[in-house]
């Protein structure tokens, strides 16, 4: 696209200004009603769900059923300090640290002390549970 050549003013001369446009008399009317246009009213067409839409709806229904199967959130009143938790459940410090670092096991920290809720341990155990293979 080519640029239009614009005449540049000479040095020291004033920049050109636009002249005001004179308004025609009688154009100061406000809220002038325009005639209504006739529009054709058509019924909206229903969109038939495709196989992809149906698959997505089934997937959402299954997710809702899984959420219902999990049940409500149960918070335990039993809290263990990190070292007490290690000794009680015979877990190595590095193993427990790996679980918390990978966010498999939730914990709460207050100052230098780390506390683990019993319900969080149970939730982790259910998450990683593998059913027994029968022969």
Question: Six-digit token pair at 24?
Answer: 């025609």
Q: Give CA–CA dist 93/90, Å, rounded.
A: 9
Which pLDDT tens digit goes with each residue over 11-69?
665 555 565 555 555 555 555 566 667 777 676 666 777 888 888 888 888 777 777 76
Q: Is there a domain that residue 115 lies in?
A: yes
Contact 82, 116 (CB under 8 A): yes
Contact 112, 118 (CB under 8 A): no
Which pLDDT tens digit goes with each residue over 57-95?
888 887 777 777 666 666 678 899 999 999 999 999 999
Provide the pairing of β-strand 113-117 with 108-110. antiparallel
Question: Reduced to 3 states, what is the DSSP secondary structure of residue 56?
Answer: helix
Percent pLDDT > 90 in the chain is 27
Q: Is there a domain that residue 69 lies in?
A: no
Q: Is there a domain that residue 46 lies in?
A: no
Q: Is there a domain that residue 97 lies in?
A: yes
Q: Is 89 exposed, middle or buried (0-12, 13-18, 19+ CB in 10 A)?
A: exposed
Domain that holds residue 112: 79-127
Which pLDDT tens digit goes with each residue over 112-134?
999 999 988 888 888 888 777 77
| Residue 60 phi, psi dihedral angles, 5° rounding | -65, -40
Selection from 126, 119, 85 nearest residue 93 by Cα: 85
Domain count for the chain, please give it: 1
Number of C-beta neighbours around residue 5 at 10 A = 6
Q: Is there a domain that residue 103 lies in?
A: yes
The CA distances from residue 130 to 85, 125, 126, 133, in Å, are 23, 10, 9, 9
Q: Is there a domain that residue 25 lies in?
A: no
């Amino acid at each position: 696209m080519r640029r239009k050549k614009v005449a540049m003013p000479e040095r020291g001369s004033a920049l050109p200004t636009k002249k005001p446009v004179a308004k025609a008399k009688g154009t100061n009317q406000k809220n002038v009603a325009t005639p209504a246009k006739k529009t054709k009213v058509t019924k909206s067409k229903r969109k038939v769900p495709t196989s992809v839409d149906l698959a997505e709806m089934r997937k959402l229904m299954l997710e809702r059923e899984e959420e219902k199967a999990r049940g409500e959130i149960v918070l335990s009143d039993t809290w263990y300090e990190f070292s007490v938790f290690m000794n009680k459940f015979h877990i190595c410090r590095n193993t427990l640290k790996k679980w918390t670092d990978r966010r498999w096991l939730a914990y709460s920290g207050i100052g230098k002390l780390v506390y683990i809720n019993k319900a969080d341990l149970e939730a982790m155990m259910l998450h990683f549970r593998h059913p027994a293979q029968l022969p």
